[in-house]
Amino acid sequence: MKNRKAWLLTMFAVMLVISIAGHSNPLQAVSSIGKDTLTLITSPDYPPYEFYDTKGGDRQIVGFDIDIANTLAKELGFKLKVMESDFNGLIPALQANRADFVMAGMTPTPERQKNVDFSIIYYEAKDTIVAPKNSNLKQPKDLSGKKVGVQLGTIQEQNAQKIAQKVAGIQLKQLNKVPEVVQEIKSGRIDAAIVEDTVAKGFAQANPDLEFNVIPSEEASGSAIAFPKGSSLVEPFNKVLQQMKDKGELAKLATKWFSQKTTVDTASSTKSGLNLDFRRILPDIPFILQGIPLTLLFTLLSVSLGLIWGTVLSLLKITGIKPLTWLANAYTSVFRGTPLLLQLALVYYATPQLTGYDISALEAGVLTFTLNSGAYMSETIRGGIQAVDKGQSEAALSMGVPYWLMMWDVILPQALKNILPALVNETIGLLKDSALVSTIGVVEILRSAQIVGANKYIYFEPLLFAGLIYYVLVMGLTFGASALEKRLRQSE
């Protein structure tokens, strides 16, 4: 019996050791990386590298780069978190420690290598000239005297600048997104654009009036993963990427994503002057509509907090205490005197560096709009307070009502009733300005429409639909405010 127990205990110990050993590789991988979860930041408006799957309203980022990132996560044993930003905000996000790595079809150039580290090249691509058909713009020399569009912050922009140094008369126009560049060609504002071949192929398929021609180049260029300077992730990532190359896995993924044809419903295209066909975005309307709750939440939070902060500032301005008055006026001057987009970028990118707190895009947007709207509302509220008859405050004070209680119960309710139209205008402004948070990756109404446009290789239809949504929301807010104003007048 004792021998049997000893044998069972021995077998249990052996199985336990085997079980632990069997799970040791992922644990060692996570330990070698230093994190259980890594954050990837990308610009999901660049199909087929990375883009949103908008079918059925889904909000999942897919594409060639995302498949590679998922393979890296599986092999190295970490969980993958995906964030988004405009392309020109990707490297600043790495520098601000907002992400662990970037995958966005990014080419390692000497300028970029000064600020971030790169992996080995995992895919080689070529530049092309995209131009209207029969324009005979096929080689760099043909661009002499032409306006040429490029995406801001890309390798194509740098290559276009090199071409402009060799070919006289080229005028470059930088835009934030490739769909905007292509739309400039279609509208006739530029003559051509320099775009990567895999992306140019999709736009040419979706727009039969365009063509693309590969630019011959002796310099090898391609896509690599970007990391913060000194990142310990470069070596393990390179090891997995090389294994994927050797096993042919990268080639299979390239075939999967770059061999797909863009589906274009040319039969249903409207032949009107503007060539608009909203049927092309019908399957993606649920995706765009999902941006409405986020836009309303953002506006509600910003208005509510901005009203509270604006009230505090207005009270500081009329206290008669000079240091407080000076401080409130100086604050208002700064936030009214600088662009809102600049304030948003500073809050989003500087907060992690200065405080160590990884503020989310939504939090950064609400905080920025609260601080900004508070500055504007403070002047409106101050004017409303000063418009209340002085006899109201004198009567309250003569009855022994404390100053702050008098302001809260007597003055502010009357002031808010007087300035209601101005507050409604500020709310409408915030609702429309909420589109600015799309620049830091918040997928609200405008960003959703831009994503659909990038996926469908179209421009006007999703943006016009987004404009209709904004208009309906603003009209609903206006009617609601009018009804409230009428009710307040009847209660007087």
pLDDT in tens, 107-128: 898 889 999 999 999 998 888 9
> In Å, how far from its chain's centre is CA 291?
13
How would you classify the pairing of strands 60-62 and 101-102? unpaired
**Are 460 and 274 contacting, i.e. CB atoms less than 8 angstroms apart?**
yes
Q: Which amino acid is at 53?
A: D
Tell me which of 3.30.700.30, 3.20.20.140, 3.40.718.10, 3.40.190.10 is the CATH number of domain 25-123+224-255.
Answer: 3.40.190.10
Assign domain 287-490 to a CATH class: mainly alpha
**Of 14-28, 46-60, 333-347, which range is least confident?**
14-28
Tokens of 164: 């402009």
Average of per-residue pLDDT values in the chain? 83
Q: What is the pLDDT of residues 355-409, one digit of tens each?
A: 878 888 889 999 999 999 999 988 888 877 777 777 766 676 677 777 666 776 6
* Residue 83 β-bridge partners: 41
Q: Where do the structural domains in the chain lie, given as residue ranges?
A: 25-123+224-255, 126-220, 287-490
Domains 25-123+224-255 and 287-490 share a fold: no
For position 335, what pLDDT does the model report?
Answer: 93
Q: What is the pLDDT of residues 172-228, one digit of tens each?
A: 999 888 888 988 998 889 999 999 888 888 888 888 889 999 988 755 578 999 999
- Burial of 109 from C-beta contacts in 10 A (0-12 / 13-18 / 19+): middle
Stronger pLDDT, 456 or 161, i.e. the higher one: 161
Residue showing tokens 């096929």: 138
Given a cut of 50, whether residue 295 has pLDDT beyond it is yes
Assign domain 126-220 to a CATH class: alpha beta
The Cα–Cα gap between 379 and 385 comes to 10
Q: Which amino acid is at 358?
A: D
Q: What is the pLDDT of residues 253-288, one digit of tens each?
A: 988 888 765 444 443 443 444 567 788 888 888 889
